Every structure is written in C-alpha cells, then in structure tokens.
Structure 1
C-alpha cells in the first residue's frame, strides 16, 4: 500500500484510491463479511457503502435501501476518517427521519417512507443534504487518502 501511495498525484488520486480499496472490498466479500475487516479497513468500507448508496439515488434512497443498518457505524466511520462535513450531513439526515426511531426492519422502514406525502419536511431536508453531499466528492476522496496516508505513516 505504501508503494501505491508514492505514485499519488492530483490527477490519479481516484485510481490510486481504487487500487487500495479493491483488495479490501475483496477481503470483506463486497461488504457482506465486514467482520473480516480490521480497525483500519472497516471505516473505509462502511463509509463507501453509505457513499455508494447516497450517490445511487440520494439520502432518501439510502434509507429506503438500508434502513438503519449502518447509521451508528457510519457516523463513527466518518469521524474516524476525519470527514466532519459528511458526518454533519449524515447526522442531519438521520435526525430528519420522519419517525422518532428509525425502524430496524427494512420492510417497516420502506412502508414508513412510502406513506409520506409527496411534499414533506424529511424529503425536502434529505434533498438539500444530498446536494450538499454531492458537492463534497473531492473532499471525501482527499479525506480517505489522508486517513490511509496517516495510517501508513504510523505503521
């Protein structure tokens, strides 16, 4: 991993990150075996799972497809990775969920979301937060690479 980082430039940072993260994805069987990850790897994968879900359809899509599966781990991962802006957005999205508690059951969560009127405060908040999140693409990649670099320097 250290050798890969030595090739890092502004132009190739996404490719370098992919070279680093791909073997970690393989190790955890694309997120289905998170227990196989160590303390360094897990925040990277948890953050990526959440990011991919949001990038695939917004924050409302994240809740619709994962319910509350990664909330606590996600908040912890964003803190570990130093992604304070992403942490704040994700925390606000969780706080905006239209129930006092986010159901643990995916079907119950989906029913709750589907029962919302077309115009509702949660959706409005999630849409605004999603747009903020999309603006952080470079910040997110830079923070992940900074975390990896600092972890490698600590040994």
Structure 2
C-alpha cells in the first residue's frame, strides 16, 4: 500500500506542471501578439531620424488693383512647383516660406475685362521688385533671388 499513494501523486504533479507551462506559454504568446499589434498600429516616427528641414526665407507676394486676376507664385516646394490661384479677388496678399536657393516669382494675368493690377515682391520684409499689368489679358511678373545659405545674425 505504500507504493500506491506515490504513484497517484506523480501524475497529479505532471498535470499541474503541464497546466502551468500552458499558462506561461499562453501569456508569452499574448505578449508577443501585443507587441506585433503595437508595431503595426504605431505609425509614429519617434524612433526614426529627425527629418532635416530645408532652410527657408519669408516671402510676401502682393497684388493690388480691382477685379480679379490669375496669380501664380512659388511657395514651400523644393521641386519648384508653383501654386496657382484662379480668378483671385484683388487686392490679394500672401506670405509664404520659400526654400533657399529657389527664386521666388509672382506672375499675374488679367482677364478679358482687362484693367490694371500691380504685383510686388518682398523678401524678409524688404521690397525687391514691382511690376504693372494693364489691358485685356495683361501680364506682369515680379521675381527675386534668395541666397543659397541661411542668413546669419549680425
């Protein structure tokens, strides 16, 4: 009779060990699945290298006059793509950041009703050019040059 209690206790220990192992394995699997889900859902770029910002200069475009005009100007686009505003109500003004090395340009085209409009261009608060368009489909262009390096404090 002495051997019988040990034999029945041994299988009970194995069953407990198997259950414990299954619980630990299940918890580890759940933790791994959680990390995978977090990696898929997390779209933040906190671990990536910070993006380098292209140095820019503040450019103010203005168009004075009455009526409307089609306006094309350079904004924060490193590829040099222009922004177009069709039939903009005058007077019109826009201040944007333009990447250094790009040439800020403002073009205006009057409509079939003609009239007169004046474009002006200011870089970092300093007016650098103005031009006047008049008549039916009159055109004018203002442009300037930005340095290729950022301004240094003096």
Q: Pick the TM interval, shorter chain.
A: under 0.3
Of Structure 1 and Structure 2, the greater helix share is in: 1
Bigger relative contact order (CA 8 A; separation at least 6): 1
Of Structure 1 and Structure 2, the greater strand share is in: 2
User: Which structure: larger Rg?
Assistant: 2
TM-score (norm 1): 0.23
TM-score (norm 2): 0.23
